[in-house]
Amino acid sequence: MSGASEQMPTEPITAVGVLSSHRKAPDDYYVVAQTTDGSDADLWKDGLFKSKVTRYLCFTRKPGPDVVVGVKLTDIKDALPEGFVAVQETTDTKEPAMRKRRLCVKMSPREAAETAVFDFQIVGKSKHQLVHYTSLGEINNMSIWYRIGAVPHLQSNQQNSGRVNDDSPTDTDSRRAVSRPDYEQQSSGGYAKTAMDDVPFGITRRLCDTSKEMQQVNLMGITIKSLAEIEEELFLFDVHHLENMDVCN
């Protein structure tokens, strides 16, 4: 078991390709030019004679909308796995990528992916196993290994950090807490019902009583009389006045 590749990359792979020369890698691409034991990682050579044709695996972690969620190494005559696309041409020269085998990759939108491919390594003659890596298959007496990891979703984390706790009071709850306890907005319309509704209003009968039996009220020595008492006094005054006039005549 090899512990040289235990450190996990921080970003998933967003594209995979094959180069005709390890010196012609595009910007932001990594080239697997050597095996884990230091040998040449040429995917084209046949093992008997050194070929003038070379092929090297490359990949990038440049941020993009899609990530690589699966890889397969199949025979060139086999049917293409469902959901996968084949790397058929070299990235730099547009020549056939491989001679006998075919590298297939599966892409997915980053936001929909839970796991993705984070790294590639090629093991040569030593045939040792890599910690945390999965074997993809063999080509030209070399085995390709890849590492799967969880896809970080930065946007989702930011949304969760800014999300309001369901248990925390909202603006509506705060306004409701300080509102009058006897006020209740009716759901059927804009009518507002209070605790004073349905209470009958009227003038007390004591205020409407104009009978003689009404008690007199004395305020600061001033006697307040009823209308009947005032009229009676005026009538007696008129009678007394007339009687005085008759005596004088």
CATH code at 36? Answer: 2.100.10.50
- 198 domain residue, yes or no: no
Q: Is the model's pLDDT at 46 over the cut of 70? A: no
Nearest CA among 50, 61, 3, 60 for reference residue 26: 60
Q: Give the pLDDT band (50/70/90) at residue 8.
A: confident
Is the distance from CB of 100 to CB of 138 less than 8 angstroms?
Answer: no
Question: What pLDDT, in 10s, does the model give residues 143-187?
Answer: 999 999 999 986 544 445 555 444 544 444 444 444 444 444 444
Q: Give the pLDDT band (50/70/90) at residue 110.
A: very high
- 135 domain residue, yes or no: yes
State the residue range of the domain holding 119: 15-155
Last residue of some domain: 137, 155, 173? 155
Is the distance from CB of 67 to CB of 148 less than 8 angstroms?
Answer: no
At 73 the pLDDT is 96
Is the distance from CB of 57 to CB of 13 less than 8 angstroms?
Answer: no
- 191 domain residue, yes or no: no
At 29 the pLDDT is 96
At 112 the pLDDT is 96
At 90 the pLDDT is 96
Q: Is the model's pLDDT at 197 over the cut of 90? A: no
Q: Is the model's pLDDT at 189 over the cut of 60? A: no
Last residue of some domain: 93, 125, 155? 155
Question: What pLDDT, in 10s, does the model give residues 200-238?
Answer: 655 555 555 544 444 555 555 566 667 777 777 776 766
Number of domains comprising the chain = 2
**Backbone dihedral angles phi then psi of residue 160, each to the nearest 5 degrees:** -65, -35
